[in-house]
């Protein structure tokens, strides 16, 4: 294990409110002098190789939660290993956790995170920490727990996607009406306009298409293009990148779902417009600074070649 200033910084990267009751007991860490209070004190200590699952909240001086495992599909977890060196007070607290522990304490961002505190905090910012240990598992049980949690999260994500596609259909239809587009809709929720049919055979999954494109947000902001002139017209021309058709093996999941489905409708020489609801685009994560989460995307595409 790296000799980091704070174990918490690493634990947050692994994580998936506090559990409050009575029976308070206060201790002080030997390193850093962190005074922490047991709201509840557990008894079962994890054996080496076992995993301790916990919930964690970090609250700033304004009582705003800036981090919480409750916002993730799974709680945080820590593999027990009594050979890990104790470098600071945070290590002492986390390495001493037991099942059923509920701990509250306050300290500065520097003490809690070491030198790796988030950029939106200053070293002396006072933070409140809430830790609640919920279980101890071996590796097999932990993997099963994560698998079930992932399945549950995927089901929730699919349900959210259905709702969002229905909501964004109204926005897309308004956009099409305002711009005089006679758009057709697929069963998945993709809207498309074939402006030029093209020639040749219909494409099959795995065929390689070469596609020129220009991608816009719903407000008309250009976020990417393979057309050099369009890039210049929008003052985003970059001499360091090539402006040429993008090769895509269609129907193989190499591109966003809206493209994968839309390109299968085209032939060599086709020109089309795709109006893509966010679940068929970059979804809840977005992409880069320009494409925010749940963004509707508009693409003008032109197929320059098809290779079977």
Question: One digit per residue, pLDDT tens: the chain, 308 residues?
Answer: 344 444 455 454 444 433 333 457 999 999 999 999 999 999 999 999 999 999 999 999 999 999 999 888 899 999 999 898 999 999 999 999 999 999 999 999 999 998 888 888 999 999 999 999 999 999 999 999 999 999 999 999 999 999 999 999 999 999 999 999 999 999 999 999 999 999 988 899 999 999 999 999 999 999 999 999 999 999 999 999 999 999 999 999 999 999 999 999 999 999 999 999 999 999 999 998 899 999 999 999 999 999 98
> What is the domain partition of the chain in residue ranges?
7-137, 160-307
CA distance 189 to 178: 19
CATH of domain 160-307: 3.10.50.40
Instruction: Compute CA distances 32 → 86, 87, 98, 183, whole Å.
Output: 12, 10, 21, 64
Residue 195 near residue 184, CB atoms below 8 Å: no
Instruction: Compute CA distances 214 → 57, 141, 211, 291, 297, whole Å.
Output: 43, 48, 10, 14, 10
pLDDT for position 119: 87
Residue 147 near residue 156, CB atoms below 8 Å: no
Give the tens place of pLDDT for each residue, 107-137.
Answer: 999 999 988 888 889 999 999 999 999 999 9
Give percent above pLDDT 70 in the chain: 93
Asked whether this chain's domains 7-137 and 160-307 adopt the same fold, the reply is yes
Question: Per CATH, is 7-137 categorized as 3.10.50.40?
Answer: yes
CA distance 178 to 232: 26
The first and second tokens of residue 52, run together, are 């301790």
Q: Which residues 6+ apart lie within 8 Å of 31 measured at CB?
A: 86, 87, 88, 89, 91, 92
Cβ burial of 240 (10 Å; 0-12, 13-18, 19+) is exposed
> If you compute the radius of gyration of the chain from its CA atoms, what whole number of angstroms results?
26
């Amino acid at each position: 294990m790296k000799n980091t200033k704070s174990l918490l910084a690493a634990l947050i990267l692994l994580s998936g409110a506090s559990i409050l009751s009575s029976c308070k007991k206060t201790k002080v860490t030997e390193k850093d002098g962190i005074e922490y209070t047991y709201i509840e004190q557990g008894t079962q200590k994890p054996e080496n190789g076992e995993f301790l699952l916990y919930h964690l909240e970090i609250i700033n001086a304004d009582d705003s939660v800036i981090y919480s495992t409750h916002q993730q599909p799974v709680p945080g977890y820590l593999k027990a290993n009594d050979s890990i060196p104790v470098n600071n007070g945070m290590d002492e607290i986390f390495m001493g956790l037991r099942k059923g522990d509920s701990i509250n304490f306050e300290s500065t961002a520097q003490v809690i995170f070491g030198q790796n505190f988030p950029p939106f905090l200053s070293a002396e910012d006072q933070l409140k920490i809430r830790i609640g240990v919920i279980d101890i598992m071996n590796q097999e049980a932990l993997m099963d727990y994560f698998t079930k949690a992932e399945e549950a999260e995927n089901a929730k994500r699919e349900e959210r996607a259905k709702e969002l596609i229905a909501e964004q259909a109204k926005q897309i239809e308004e956009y099409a009406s305002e711009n005089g587009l006679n758009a057709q809709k697929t069963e998945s929720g993709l809207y498309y306009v074939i402006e030029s049919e093209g020639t040749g055979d219909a494409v099959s999954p795995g065929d390689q298409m070469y596609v020129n494109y220009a991608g816009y947000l719903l407000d008309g902001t250009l976020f990417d293009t393979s057309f050099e002139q369009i890039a210049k017209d929008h003052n985003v021309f970059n001499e360091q990148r090539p402006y040429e058709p993008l090769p895509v093996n269609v129907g193989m999941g190499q591109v966003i779902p809206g493209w994968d489905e839309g390109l299968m409708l085209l032939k060599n020489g086709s020109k089309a417009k795709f109006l893509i609801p966010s679940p068929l685009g970059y979804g809840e994560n977005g992409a880069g600074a320009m494409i925010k989460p749940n963004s509707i995307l508009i693409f003008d595409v032109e197929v320059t070649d098809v290779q079977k």
